[in-house]
Amino acid sequence: MNITRENSDALNAVVKVEITKDDYSDKVEKILTDYRKSANIPGFRKGHVPMNLVKKQYGKAVLVDEVNKLLQDAIGKYLVEEKLDVLGNPLPKPQDDLDWDADAFSFEFELGLAPEFDVKLKGKKAITHYNIVADDKMINNQVEHIQKQYGKLISQDEVSEDSEITGKFSNEDKNIENVATITLDKFKGKTNSKKFIGAKVGDIITLNTKGLFKDDHDLMAFLKVNHEDAHGLDIEVNFEVSEINKRELADLDQDLFDKLFGKGNVTSVTELKERIKTDSEKQFTQQSDQKLLNDVTEYLVEDTKFDLPAEFLQKWMQTAGEEPMSQDQAKEEFEKSEKSIRYQLIEGKLIQEHNLQVQFDDLKAYAIEMIKGQMAQFGQMNPSEKELEDIAARILSNKDEVKRLSEQLMSQKLLELYKAEANLKTKKITYDDFVKEFYS
């Protein structure tokens, strides 16, 4: 067997594989001999079928199969030995005139080569890393939310500004019939909320859904309509009042603190607010880090310039999926995924250059921390080491979970690299302002 390569340019190459009879004949002969021993052909006893008949019936198929196996094995070894960094998979060049009756065969494969490039983490323009803080307004709102959550419901005769009203939304034409509990602050403007003031159990209030709530998505929850129908919904609905309550706020006392955080862990309103601030900002860190990861990714893709073997990749995409693509479909798919391909190459280079690896011990420690966090959400604050080890072992025995956790851990390692090496500036921002700026 002989393998040669000719580079068309820096990103494309053709590999030629020449296979002679010596490469496959022994293997083909052995398989056909085994076939002869077990072949059931009418008119011949088992194991006594003439070899020329076996070759006539099975020879071509065995030859084709063995040559293809040789090809796949040879190409794979060649790429490893030559240390070729390729994109996609080698594409065989079509050979309509291939003569399988010949003794020697020649095959050509197109390769898309990964580009050479440098990655600069420190750009000229600084990337903002947001320090999201919980301000007094947010903390006080959270305190009030806790008081409402743990407060008592007191029945009322009629609706007032601070009532919780339970009733049924209905519209016969749209098959809407849903029981919901609502507060007047959900309504947009005062026109609709005024309709409820003074209402009693049994009263029916007619509302128009257009501009009914401050957030159109509330229509999904209160009317049980899907996302598509909720946007721009303009119909009349009836709301029949079935229950009116006022929520008496829970006292900020030691009983409440113990329910929330365990006995004696919080002993004053000041400590409660500090705990809310700490817990909230811990959650905000995840959002801040995700924003930073997105921004650095965007910067790296835009700043790191290199060409891709676009024509090869589009050709490869035509046959790589479960369903074959047309040339136009492959071009469209390439345009959609080009940024992703570029970042994968950049990420791979950073991982290699900075020797970022996910070791099993790192993965196990990461899994245990994740388990601790999940258990804490359900009030299990002090699980035993054996309990954590057993759960981690079960998780890490699942290949899909190992892949998912490995990707998360590598993202974390890359994030740590970006924080250490990229050109960053820190900006303090409240959570409300962060949401307005980036998610409104």
- Span 100-113, pLDDT tens digits: 989 999 999 999 99
By three-state DSSP, how is residue 364 classified?
A: helix
What tens digit of pLDDT does each residue of 216-270 get?
788 998 999 888 888 888 999 999 999 999 989 999 999 999 988 888 989 999 9
Secondary structure letter of residue 187 according to DSSP: B
Q: How confident is the model at residue 199 (pLDDT cuts 50, 70, 90)?
A: very high
| Highest CATH level, class, for 274-439 | mainly alpha
- By the 8 A CB rule, do 132 and 287 touch? yes
pLDDT in tens, 293-342: 999 999 999 999 999 999 999 999 998 888 899 999 999 999 999 999 99
Confidence of residue 440 (pLDDT cuts 50, 70, 90): low
Q: Which residues pair with 213 in a beta bridge?
A: 187
Give the pLDDT confidence of 339-356 residue by residue, as tens digits: 999 999 999 999 999 999
**2-113 CATH, one of 3.55.40.10, 1.10.357.10, 2.40.50.140, 3.30.70.1050:** 3.30.70.1050
Tokens 């008496």: give the residue.
248
pLDDT tens digits, 146-172 = 998 899 999 999 999 989 999 999 999
CB 230 within 8 A of CB 240: no
- The domains of the chain are located at 2-113, 152-248, 274-439
Whole-Å CA distances, 439 to 30, 291, 426, 435: 67, 11, 20, 5
Domains 2-113 and 152-248 share a fold: no
Contacts of 69 (CB under 8 A, 6+ apart): none
Backbone angles phi, psi at 105, to 5 degrees: -135, 150
Average pLDDT over residues 375-383: 76
183 pLDDT higher than 70 = yes
Cα angle value 388/394/400 (rounded, 5°): 125
Structure tokens at 95: 């050979």
Tokens of residue 401, six digits: 């979970």
- The CATH number given to 152-248 is 3.10.50.30
In three-state form (DSSP H/G/I as H, E/B as E, the rest C), the secondary structure along 387-438 is HHHHHHHHHHCCHHHHHHHHHHHHHHHHHHHHHHHCCEEEEEEEHHHHHHHH
Average pLDDT across the chain, whole number: 91
pLDDT above 70 as % of the chain: 99
pTM, 2 dp? 0.74
Q: 29, 112 in Cβ contact below 8 A?
A: no
**Amino acid, res. 416:** E
Coil, strand, or helix at residue 161? coil
